[in-house]
């Protein structure tokens, strides 16, 4: 019996340590202006969202359709853009959660933006958008939840990572994103600048 209790204590201690380590890898921070920015104002091809943030990022829908929408006109999300005129929106069908995936050409040390979802007058749509962060080897390094109200408007959410992030997914019913920003470490920034200069020559 004593051996079983000791094993249970060891398992519990390891579980607490793992949870603390995950929490330490991603940290919510104050809004920042990163080296790279995407407001979706210059996107010319909705079908190929592959050259965002000056080539640092690409977006894809996971079992969802993505579109860059002019928020000044009637749209599925019943929202205006949170910055400028355009925003990125995802849809997977009525009432079905959609996942937007952002992949970086180089792993980032900071990421953030303004996020929202479809709102309808008189319809309760408040809830938590789930963000999942992955490293360069495809391993999940953490999750976070951002509560977004039923009222029009977005919520700013910004993170800093102790292990650099290569991919981010976020999921909710008809999610939206705008004013995305990211930063590389100085070494990664130099590598990225060399790679993009070489590709343009």
**Domain containing 137 — which CATH number?**
2.60.120.430
Burial class, 103, CB count within 10 angstroms (exposed 0-12 / middle 13-18 / buried 19+): middle
Residue 58 CB contacts under 8 Å (≥ 6 apart), including other chains: 49, 50, 51, 52, 102, 103, 105
Domain presence at residue 22: no
Residue 29 exposure: Cα atoms within 13 Å on the Cβ side: 20
Q: Where in the sequence is the domain holding 125, given as residue range(s)?
A: 27-200
Q: Is the Cα torsion angle 156, 16, 165, 61 positive or negative in sign?
A: negative
Q: What is the value of pTM for the model shown?
A: 0.84
65 pairs with which residues across the strands? Answer: 91
Q: Is residue 18 a part of any domain in this protein?
A: no
Query: Residue 6: inside a domain, yes or no?
Result: no
Quote the pLDDT of residue 137: 97
Tally the domains of the chain: 1
Residue 3 lies in a domain: no
Residue range 41-60, pLDDT digits in tens: 988 777 779 889 999 999 99
Residue 19 lies inside a defined structural domain of this protein: no
Residue 103 Cα distances to 15, 51, 53, 85, angstroms: 29, 11, 11, 24
| Residue 17, in any domain of the structure | no
- Is residue 4 domain-resident? no
pLDDT at 200: 57
């Amino acid at each position: 019996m004593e051996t079983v209790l000791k094993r249970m204590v060891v398992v519990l201690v390891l579980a607490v340590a793992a949870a603390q380590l995950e929490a330490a890898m991603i940290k919510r921070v104050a809004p920042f202006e990163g080296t790279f920015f995407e407001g979706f104002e210059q996107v010319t091809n909705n079908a190929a969202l592959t050259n965002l943030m000056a080539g640092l990022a690409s977006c894809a829908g996971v079992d969802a359709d993505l579109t860059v929408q002019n928020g000044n006109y009637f749209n599925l999300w019943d929202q205006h853009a949170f910055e400028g005129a355009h925003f990125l929106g995802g849809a997977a069908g009525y009432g079905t959660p959609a996942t937007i995936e952002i992949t970086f050409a180089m792993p980032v040390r900071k990421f953030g933006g303004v996020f929202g979802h479809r709102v309808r007058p008189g319809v309760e749509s408040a809830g938590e958008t789930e963000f999942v962060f992955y490293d360069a080897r495809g391993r999940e390094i953490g999750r976070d939840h951002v509560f977004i109200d039923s009222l029009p408007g977005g919520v700013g959410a910004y993170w800093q990572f102790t292990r650099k992030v290569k991919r981010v997914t976020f999921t909710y019913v008809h999610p939206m994103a705008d004013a995305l920003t990211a930063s590389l470490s100085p070494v990664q920034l130099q590598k990225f600048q060399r790679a993009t200069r070489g590709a343009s020559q």
